[in-house]
Amino acid sequence: MPTLLDDSPQVARVAAAQQLLFPSSARFLCDEIGLNWQAAVRLQEEGWLSFSLETTSQLDEAQEAELRFVGTLVLAGCDRDMLRLLLAGLPRPYAYELKRLYFDWLARRWRLLPDPWSHPEAGFTEWLENLVQAHDAGSLEGVIELAQDALARVRGQ
41 plus 98 within the same structural domain: yes
Domain membership of residue 30 (yes or no) is yes
Domain total of the chain: 2
pLDDT digits (tens, 9 = 90+) for 126-150: 889 999 999 999 999 999 999 999 9
Q: Are 66 and 94 in contact (CB under 8 A)?
A: yes
- CA gap 82, 88 in Å, rounded: 10
Range of the domain at 50: 9-112
127 plus 87 within the same structural domain: no
Domain membership of residue 89 (yes or no) is yes
107 plus 152 within the same structural domain: no
Domain membership of residue 2 (yes or no) is no
Of the pLDDT bands very low, low, confident and very high (cuts 50, 70, 90), residue 19 is low
Domain membership of residue 102 (yes or no) is yes
Residue 46, pLDDT score: 96
37 plus 89 within the same structural domain: yes
pLDDT digits (tens, 9 = 90+) for 31-90: 999 999 999 999 999 999 999 998 988 898 899 999 999 999 999 999 999 999 999 989
131 plus 105 within the same structural domain: no
Q: Which residue has the higher pLDDT, 132 or 157?
A: 132
| Continuous segment of H or E residues that includes residue 147 | helix 137-156
Q: Is residue 5 scored above 60 in pLDDT?
A: no
101 plus 125 within the same structural domain: no
User: DSSP states of 85-140 as a string?
Assistant: HHHTTSPSS--B-GGGEEEETTTTEEEEPP-TTTSHHHHHHHHHHHHHHTT-HHHH
Domain membership of residue 77 (yes or no) is yes
Domain membership of residue 142 (yes or no) is yes
Q: Is residue 20 scored above 70 in pLDDT?
A: no
Q: Which residue has the higher pLDDT, 4 or 71?
A: 71
Domain membership of residue 1 (yes or no) is no
26 plus 85 within the same structural domain: yes
With 0.75 as the threshold, say if the pTM is over it.
Answer: no
| Continuous segment of H or E residues that includes residue 29 | helix 26-33
102 plus 149 within the same structural domain: no
Last residue of a domain, one of 77, 94, 112: 112
Cβ-based neighbours of 12, under 8 Å, separated by 6 or more? 96, 97, 100, 101, 112
